[in-house]
Structure 1
């Protein structure tokens, strides 16, 4: 990775942090109760439809909790897709079930908490996306950490302890599914892929794609014969698979360095909207709910995270809850 690209990432990242701290919050228009109930009905329909279709397409026969066999289950899932499954499965696993879990904790309703956990375990067992499993623990940990003083120092200590335990685990057992999925995949692979994507698209004969594979596909010609991930995998590994790059790498291969800053500005705008819900919601609820889709930025682009990984849906659910709490106080 060139020093210039690295410096631009650091500047953009710190710019995001500074904007979140010093820029004023966006004034949010609150929803009426009728609109809240209408949106709840729509989200409930999506939720029920997703589980019904998962079961109808053989989900119960795919149930598996063995982490060594997840790729077999995912292969079966890919052969039994249903309408909008690539969106709805993620929306349920990354946003709607976490919403049930956090509301159960916030409202002190054990039945809601238990329902959220059971349904999350069920969707994991039928899809075997490992992040669905880890989310349960992360949600609860972040929820309780966020309501304590000196949050960031505690998170730092927790991360240090976690990494130390994983290192001891590696020294004792070598590379296992546990340390590979939690450490190598979350920290080292995303950083390495940023290096590879920058190396490829910084070559003069490899043009940027200018969102021609997504939101601008109808107006901009896509310059490659294969998807970007396949282009990268063929070039560096000589075979086809899907090495997705994260937020900054995705911004770079779309527009270059200007894209790093442009998409950072869009991200700040969305996060300022999230911040505006703090008026009627405690930070522990917001932090826990935004955690999962936000983590997707590690290996996904801005618009993919926004739509596929439920970032936009989570913002909408926060808007709904915040409006409901505000309306309740007005009664």
Structure 2
């Protein structure tokens, strides 16, 4: 019986082969951690540079103001980031490790360092926020590590039935889009999506929530799965369908992540071809490469487009949003999820949801949705206690992810979880479960077969196995 650290098809060892049990999870030598810290230092320095020289001068009218951080406090919070980085799994051995690294790069590090030089909170409050973020995420890391060894695999589903369900769901999604939001392959610039997003929100209100759920399922889970499986197995038609299928979703919604998921999945596939169990610093190095490429592109084109899209919006904004939620809700009644799943039980005191309330106060724009991760959203709902509540739910979610993907190759579960994990950087854990794809991903992974992901994999069976036998 495999332990909870073993992922992917079991190695050919044991009684059948006469070999020893499967190998234990590999831990890299402590000396290699210096590479993680070196890349992290470059990442933190780049975030600071971009906010000081590119974001603050351009968006000062939105209250994004730069202040010189206090040297001692800044050194203290950099020590907090370092401590969290050292506690992270240095080699990605299971799906939860992959999710943790995405969150560390996109949410945790910005939420700790950005408030130190973004003039939103006082110096003392920004250090307090950094300490809470670091402490809570350390609890998440250790909580994920001690997860149970359960398996959430759904048995008795034939492999052909799984892919038939994927095809049927895809057809339903695009048919429903054609009737409601419309199907279009027209691409607009990444900086020109606001009108499309506004029109899409109006369409969801008019047609009901089904459109939103189907679009998230298709764009966050199913199309990335098709693209990744096509690339791994070198089934180019399947890969093309997964990639091209993202275009009408982007054209209808304006969600940049949907379009950017195509190169992200390709890079992830290349990463897993290089290393079966990548080291965490490779993800951090990849993000540093994205930041540097955006800066170089803007320098060559004499623009700020790529810096705003790929650096400000993806990596600085989560830190700004976390501080903004703390600033706005520090001295007013907390939301207590009365606008959300606790609406029947809680008297919500505001006319706007917390994200729009923060947008109105912080940026002076009531129509702006200042959506935040578990740190900002948790605070706006229940103070720092709310951050702990969402962290506990995140640990349970990571346990479910590991349980559902225990039989799958790590490269497959990583591709399925990539987009939901990135989306989690800007929404609460509760929202991410259903609205941003984590529940879909868990159910899908539990139903998928363990084999057949490589080129020349097992041939399709000529008959269906009896009930109770996994596909």
Report the TM-score when normalising by structure 1: 0.88
1:13 aligned partner: 137
1:191 aligned partner: 319
Q: Deviations over 1:72-131 (max 9, x none)?
A: 333343443434112211111111111111222333322211111111223223333211
Pairing 1:73–2:196 present: yes
Deviation, structure 1 residue 286: 1.2
Q: Report which of the two structures shows the higher radius of gyration computed on alpha carbons.
A: 2
**What is the aligned counterpart of 2:263 among 101, 126, 137?**
137
On the 8 A contact 1:31/1:323 being kept in 2, the answer is no
1:155 aligned partner: 283
**What is the aligned counterpart of 2:216 among 82, 90, 94?**
90
**What is the aligned counterpart of 2:397 among 242, 245, 270?**
270
Pairing 1:170–2:298 present: yes
1:215 aligned partner: 341
Equivalents in 1 of 2:445, 2:326: separation in Å? 35
1:261 aligned partner: 388
**What is the aligned counterpart of 2:155 among 23, 32, 36?**
32
**What is the aligned counterpart of 2:408 among 263, 275, 281?**
281
Structure with the largest fraction of helix: 1
How many residues are paired up?
327
RMSD: 2.7
**What is the aligned counterpart of 1:302 among 429, 438, 443?**
429
Secondary structure at the counterpart of residue 267 of structure 1: helix
Q: Deviations over 1:180-229 (max 9, x none)?
A: 111110111221111111011111xx111111111110111111122212
Deviation, structure 1 residue 236: 2.5
Q: List alignment gaps of at least 5 residues for structure 2.
A: 1-120, 453-463
Equivalents in 1 of 2:183, 2:399: separation in Å? 41
Which range is displaced more, 258-267 or 57-66?
A: 57-66
Which range is displaced more, 271-280 or 33-42?
A: 33-42
On the 8 A contact 1:36/1:324 being kept in 2, the answer is no
Pairing 1:53–2:180 present: no
Report the TM-score when normalising by structure 2: 0.63
Secondary structure at the counterpart of residue 157 of structure 1: helix
2:55 aligned partner: none
Equivalents in 2 of 1:297, 1:320: separation in Å? 23
On the 8 A contact 1:143/1:287 being kept in 2, the answer is no
